[in-house]
Amino acid sequence: MLENLSYSALAGQVFGLVALVICVAAFASKSDDRLLMLLISANVAFALQFVFFGSWTAAVLTMLVIVRIILARRYMGSKAVMVGVLLASGIAAFFTWQSWVDFLPMAAMVLGTFAMFLLRGIPMRVFLGLAATLWMLNNVVIGSVGGTLAEGLIVVTNIITIIRLARAKRKYPDVFD
> pLDDT by residue (tens digit) across 111-151?
999 999 999 888 988 999 999 999 999 999 999 999 999 99
Mean pLDDT of the region 138-166:
91
Average pLDDT across the chain, whole number: 91
The residue type found at 62 is T
How many angstroms separate the first and last alpha carbons of the chain? 53
Total domains, the chain = 1
Q: Give domain status of residue 151, yes or no.
A: yes
Question: pLDDT at position 145, please?
Answer: 93
- Determine the structural domain holding residue 117 and report its residue range: 2-171
Q: Give domain status of residue 177, yes or no.
A: no
Mean pLDDT of the region 40-51:
95
Q: Give domain status of residue 35, yes or no.
A: yes
| CA–CA dist 126, 146 (Å, integer) | 23
Q: Give domain status of residue 112, yes or no.
A: yes
User: For the segment 78-119, what is each residue's pLDDT rounded down to a tens digit?
Assistant: 999 999 999 999 999 999 999 999 999 999 999 999 999 999
Q: Give domain status of residue 160, yes or no.
A: yes
Q: Give domain status of residue 142, yes or no.
A: yes
Q: Give domain status of residue 176, yes or no.
A: no
